[in-house]
Structure 1
Amino acid sequence: MEKKYIIAIDEGTTSARVIIFDKSQNKIINNTRLKFNQLFPKDGWVEHDPEEIWQTVKNAMDQSFAETKIKAEEVFGIGITNQRETVIAWDKVSGKPVYNAIVWQCRRTADYCKTLPHNLRRQIRTRTGLIVDAYFSATKMRWILQNVKAARELAKKDRLCFGTIDTWLVYKLTNGKCFYTDTTNASRTMLFNLSKLEWDDYLLDYFKIPKNSLPKILNSADDFGMAQTSIGEIKIAGVIGDQQSSLFGQGCFKRGQAKNTYGTGCFLLFNIGDKPNLTKQNLLSTVAWTINGKTAYALEGSVFNAGSALEWLHYNMNMIQNSFESSSMSSSLKSSEGVYVVPAFTGLGAPYWDSFARGLIIGITRGTKPEHVVRATLESIAYNCYDIVLQMQKNNIKLTELRCDGGVSNNNFLMQLQADLMGVKLICQENSDVTALGAVYMAGLQTGAYKKLSEIESAIGFDKTYTPIIMSQNKKTALMKGWKEAIKRSQRWS
């Protein structure tokens, strides 16, 4: 039977999505998305139920198979992309988690991070390309070992498994036979040596994390085992962290190309080629992907709250019904009348890196209306992304265009403001599921559905462009001055 389909599992922060891509038609023929619960046991803590994540992925796959009637023999393979930095610990023998997944947004280890000595911070920067922050996986693993008795007992018996979400899904899909991760996910743990492309013994020893509790590191396009699905065995042929997957799905294969994903958070990645750049700016150096043993690297700026800020406006504040309404409300005003919103619900990411910052609304007067707060919230996303571009410019990186994706990229007001601030063209794909497509393309390369990157490039289409409207430097300076002042007042609050 002729192979024609590639399956992508896109396990995100709030939902699991399964898409079935018909390579012969170059289009998605099925897209199933199921949400799972968000757990907030304490202020600043964020957790997920690992078994619920697995069941949600399984249900989404089964629903996709039922709706399309495809057969396993028709599938090239499965690609997995996932929320990064989130940690799960489980029993190697029983496969049972010993604690909830600690999510990338969780700030429970912020106080501990604050105590780490300057020398270690320098070592982490040099070895991993990252900065010390509760965002990354290492301190989450340490917390589990210190606070979950079952994890310590399993570690003594050499039965403890630590993994990011990709590793958990590979393990579950293969019925516990495969315990793997890829270089992109490993590079987000604060335990991965960016130059050697392996677990770093010095950091493992410092954080007291047993090396044998960590998965084997493979290429992003590789053989991750056979998934046992309801329609039969299917090869898992690609694994890549969600933001790197978006960079790949946008076709940013060449040095100098960049993308920004406007999802739960915003993640701007810039392809810097085949050598890591340990920038002195407040940006991260990370693996973009590894294919056939060759690694590409990226600089990254992470904004923790974007789509989550719009959800806050909707569910918590009842100010909007959806993202499209926020766009029209904002466009109806000439300005936000001096109102600034800093949506630091879980601290601030790049370029501020303050786990103790908290959200604020400032500049309110008797004339302030919900529309002003809505507009200021959208503006905050654009300002924070512009902050990252300014940091990149200090690192001698100049943007000429920015490829955009994610659900919030459908917000016309935000996208036009972003183009105006950055002074560059923003282009969006006709297919908004770019993160999932990155996993499709990665699995497609490994299974021979695609022979080379140029084939993928020719398959990508862009359908929307935001051309910058000239904004005077004085206006930019005034807007950003207010933003910086609002940021300053939100910092070190908690």
Structure 2
Amino acid sequence: MAENIIVIDEGTTSTRTMLFAADGEPLGSAQREFQQHYPGAGLVEHDAAEIWEATLACTRAMIKKAGGAEHVAAIGITNQRETVVFWDRTTGEPLAPAIVWQDRRTAADCAALKDAGHEETVQATTGLLLDPYFSGSKIGWALRNWPQLREAGERLAVGTIESYLIFRLTGGVHVSDATNASRTLLMNINGAGGWDAGLCDLLGVPMTLLPEITGCTTSVGSTDPDLFGSAIPICGMAGDQQAATIGQACLAPGQTKATFGTGAFILSASGTVRPRSANRLLATVLVQEGDARSYALEGSVFVAGSLIKWLRDGLGLLANAGESEGLARSVADNGGVYLVPALTGLGAPHWRPDVLAAISGLSFATSKAHVARAALEAQAYQAHDLKSAFAADGVDWADLRIDGGMAANDWMAQDLADMLNLTVERPDFVESTALGAAMLAATGAGLYPDLASAAKTMRGTATRFTPALDADKRKTRLAGWQSALANVLS
């Protein structure tokens, strides 16, 4: 009997494939980094062919560890969501660079559409705001500016990362799950809505280029037998933040998770009722089982772990990312230093793609430890801003479940609890994104009757961090952050 689950977890800087037992126990992992390309200010691209080769190698390693394809019940896929790929339907080869979710090249286009009065309709239809973060404006820009895409004609296919990988794995199935489709600015998320003709026209995206929208536990096909020795069903797909929310078992209304990866993404489940925000938060599809959709309210922060990576690679202040925790502990406080990490603009609740990052409060007494601490503190400050926005929309957090690479930092986890003044829970297995995709695949493969049952069985134990900061110190620190933030936004 096929007793294992393979999960392909496509991040922003690396590809990873994980092997899970049916009960959620992690059995192995293979990972490869791939290059981010920065051809100009605000431009971020990937080579989709490099991603495919890395995916193939990592997946083959985990199938071998499982004992062969016959021991794998299903494949699940989770991915960086708004990154868009352009490829040839006949060969599967990319026709242009993939435009990454961090890319800001369409900021002027989005601003023009907003100035023309389109944002209210966009938000009502998609749950999103007019921002270059989302896929739709990227597709429209590429079609206008890259002639090879127009020249491809009917050979051109477009999709987010999971769509591209499914196409390559199956040898031609062109689909996108509802969570990823809901991040494009092109999908009507209300009721049983699909691609919206009006929005496609607005952003200059022919609907014929787009994949079929499917459920998250739907069997979309099987892998080409030549890839792994025999065919394996693909039946679990979700964008990385939705997958992490599922992996944290945040399925009931009000349950909240925060993933601290390249960016930081906080989602609160809202059940079958689509949330509506008056505070520039996002409504998104959390999961679709069959034809039944449930939703979440989301706040997206563009820079989290990438800030620590920048301190390491860009400024040379850190030898490795883990050093940030020791540096933060080595000083009594931040020394008056605040870092507003707007390296690719600011996301929710500000949505200011035009602003730049800033470090304030520097003096000759400032050390790299103060800067490292300020970078970690910025995560709690940004989370605090989002908590206030969620509460104003009627969705306050009783506690917070965190995951992602940065969540392994005990100092940061405690600082979140202190600044938010609530209990923070971190699963002992922090890779909730991959675990959520495993839950979806296990449900799609029939190993569990529904997603709630899979989540109940497969989620493991957790560590809790409780608030321990004096209220006056919390107030003083937040006042310093608000001052630094105001200078950036002015």
Instruction: Say yes or no: TM over 0.5.
Output: yes
Aligned residue in 2 for 1:272: 270
Distance in 2 between residues matched to 1:469 and 1:354, nearest whole Å: 33
Q: C-alpha displacement at 1:118, in angstroms?
A: 4.5
Distance in 1 between residues matched to 2:117 and 2:351, nearest whole Å: 18
Q: Aligned to 2:232, what secondary structure does the other structure show?
A: strand
Aligned residue in 2 for 1:77: 74
Q: C-alpha displacement at 1:314, in angstroms?
A: 1.5
Aligned residue in 1 for 2:176: 181
Aligned residue in 2 for 1:166: 162
CA contact (8 A) 2:439 2:458 kept: no
Q: Aligned to 2:322, what secondary structure does the other structure show?
A: helix
Q: Aligned to 2:143, what secondary structure does the other structure show?
A: helix
Aligned residue in 1 for 2:420: 422
2:111 to 102, 111, 114: 114
Pairing 1:255–2:253 present: yes
Distance in 2 between residues matched to 1:249 and 1:479, nearest whole Å: 32
Pairing 1:292–2:290 present: yes
Q: C-alpha displacement at 1:324, in angstroms?
A: 3.3
2:211 to 206, 211, 215: 215
Distance in 1 between residues matched to 2:484 and 2:187, nearest whole Å: 35
CA contact (8 A) 1:84 1:242 kept: yes
Distance in 1 between residues matched to 2:327 and 2:100, nearest whole Å: 33
Aligned residue in 2 for 1:90: 87
Q: C-alpha displacement at 1:69, in angstroms?
A: 5.0
Q: Aligned to 1:143, what secondary structure does the other structure show?
A: helix
Pairing 1:3–2:14 present: no
Pairing 1:457–2:456 present: yes
Aligned residue in 2 for 1:130: 128
Q: C-alpha displacement at 1:401, in angstroms?
A: 1.2
Give the RMSD, CA atoms, in angstroms. Answer: 1.4
Q: Aligned to 1:78, what secondary structure does the other structure show?
A: strand
Q: Aligned to 2:118, what secondary structure does the other structure show?
A: helix
Letter in 2 for 1:419: A
Q: C-alpha displacement at 1:197, in angstroms?
A: 2.7
CA contact (8 A) 2:439 2:454 kept: no
- Residue-by-residue CA offset, 1:188-217 (whole Å, 9 max, x unaligned): 001111104301111111112111100000
Q: C-alpha displacement at 1:137, in angstroms?
A: 0.4
- Residue-by-residue CA offset, 1:154-180 (whole Å, 9 max, x unaligned): 3xx33321100010000000112x000
Q: Aligned to 2:311, what secondary structure does the other structure show?
A: helix
2:25 to 19, 24, 27: 27
Unpaired stretches in structure 2, ≥5 consecutive residues:
none
Distance in 1 between residues matched to 2:469 and 2:309, nearest whole Å: 31
Q: Aligned to 1:8, what secondary structure does the other structure show?
A: strand
CA contact (8 A) 2:6 2:63 kept: no
- Residue-by-residue CA offset, 1:214-242 (whole Å, 9 max, x unaligned): 00000011011111232321000111000
Pairing 1:197–2:193 present: yes
Aligned residue in 1 for 2:102: 105
Q: C-alpha displacement at 1:23, in angstroms?
A: 1.6
Q: Are residues 248 and 69 of structure 1, via their aligned partners in 2, closer, same or farther at CA, if it must alter by over 3 Å?
A: closer
Distance in 1 between residues matched to 2:368 and 2:293, nearest whole Å: 47
Distance in 2 between residues matched to 1:323 and 1:197, nearest whole Å: 42
Distance in 2 between residues matched to 1:81 and 1:138, nearest whole Å: 20
Distance in 1 between residues matched to 2:310 and 2:388, nearest whole Å: 27
CA contact (8 A) 2:443 2:454 kept: no
CA contact (8 A) 2:4 2:66 kept: no
Q: C-alpha displacement at 1:320, in angstroms?
A: 2.2
Deviates more, 1:48-57 or 1:90-99: 90-99
Q: C-alpha displacement at 1:329, in angstroms?
A: 1.6
CA contact (8 A) 2:159 2:211 kept: yes
Distance in 2 between residues matched to 1:221 and 1:471, nearest whole Å: 46
CA contact (8 A) 1:239 1:442 kept: yes
CA contact (8 A) 1:427 1:462 kept: no
Q: C-alpha displacement at 1:372, in angstroms?
A: 0.8
Q: Aligned to 1:192, what secondary structure does the other structure show?
A: coil
Distance in 2 between residues matched to 1:203 and 1:218, nearest whole Å: 19
Letter in 2 for 1:360: A
Q: Aligned to 1:302, what secondary structure does the other structure show?
A: strand
Q: Aligned to 1:413, what secondary structure does the other structure show?
A: helix
Letter in 2 for 1:40: Y
Aligned residue in 2 for 1:54: 52
Trace 1:222-241 onto structure 2 (pairs within 5 A). Answer: 222-228=218-224, 229-241=227-239
CA contact (8 A) 1:159 1:213 kept: no
Trace 1:365-404 onto structure 2 (pairs within 5 A). Answer: 365-404=363-402
Deviates more, 1:262-271 or 1:395-404: 395-404
Percent identical pairs in the alignment equals 37
Distance in 1 between residues matched to 2:106 and 2:25, nearest whole Å: 42
Distance in 2 between residues matched to 1:479 and 1:123, nearest whole Å: 38
User: TM-score scaled by structure 2?
Assistant: 0.96
Distance in 2 between residues matched to 1:314 and 1:471, nearest whole Å: 32
How many residue pairs match? The answer is 485
Pairing 1:320–2:329 present: no
Q: C-alpha displacement at 1:107, in angstroms?
A: 0.6
Letter in 2 for 1:462: T
Q: C-alpha displacement at 1:477, in angstroms?
A: 3.2
Letter in 2 for 1:91: D
Distance in 2 between residues matched to 1:491 and 1:345, nearest whole Å: 13
- Residue-by-residue CA offset, 1:62-88 (whole Å, 9 max, x unaligned): 22233x152222211000000000011
User: TM-score scaled by structure 1?
Assistant: 0.95
Letter in 1 for 2:176: T
Unpaired stretches in structure 1, ≥5 consecutive residues:
none
